[in-house]
Amino acid sequence: MTGKPVHLAVYDTFADWETGFATAYLARGGHLIRTVGASAATPVTSIGGLRVLPDLALDDVRPEDSSLLILPGADLWDTADDLAPFARKAREFLAAGTPVAAICGATAGLAREGLLDERDHTSAVSFYLAATGYRGGHRYTEADAVTDGALITAGPTEPVAFAREILHLLGVYEGEVLDAWYRLFHDSDPQAYAVLENATAGR
C-alpha cells in the first residue's frame, strides 16, 4: 500500500457512479480506500441502492492521517443540512493542506461553506452554484474538472475527468500515461489501451 489512506465520504443518496473510476485506479495504484460516514455504526444507501457500512466516523478522520478526502454528490446536498459536517471537514482538510476532491452536489456544499469563494472551481453549471448564494462566481471555470492547489472539483457528468485530476494529484499516473488513461476511459480510444498497457506492465 502507498502511504496514508484515501478517505471516501459516504452518505445516504451518494452518487455511486461518480467516484468509481477514481477509487478503482487509486486502489490499483496501491492506495487504501476507507469509507467515512456520519457514524461507523450506521449503514448508508447510495442512489443506486448499494448499502455501505462506513469504515470510520467523520469525527474520527484527521487530515494528517489522510492522503485525500473525496466527496461524492448526493441528493442530500441540496435538500437538507445533513451533509454540512462533511463540508466543514473539507475546510479542516484544506486548512491543513490535505487535498479534497468534490464532485456534483458536493461542490454546492463547499460553496455554502465558503470554500470556493477564492479558489478556481467548476460544477454542473455556474447557476447551480450561484443559487447557493456563494461569492465565488468570478472563479467559476467552464471545464470538465478543475484543480486549484489542494482542491479538485467536477460536475456530475465528468467522473473520468474527476478521476484524472485525482490520479495526477496523487501521482498514480502522469504525462502520456495519464493522457492515455483518460483517452481510454473517456473517448474509448483503442490506441490509448496499448500505451497504458505498455506503461503499466509489471506494476
CA distance 200 to 43: 36
Residue with cell 504525462: 175
Asked if 175 is an active-site residue, the reply is: no
| 187 burial type by CB count under 10 A (0-12 exposed, 13-18 middle, 19+ buried) | exposed
Instruction: Choose among 32, 148, 164, 11: nearest CA to 86.
Output: 11
Instruction: Choose among 69, 81, 79: nearest CA to 36.
Output: 69
Catalytic-labelled residue, pool 8, 58, 90, 104: 104
Largest Cα–Cα separation, the chain: 50
Question: Catalytic residue positions?
Answer: 104
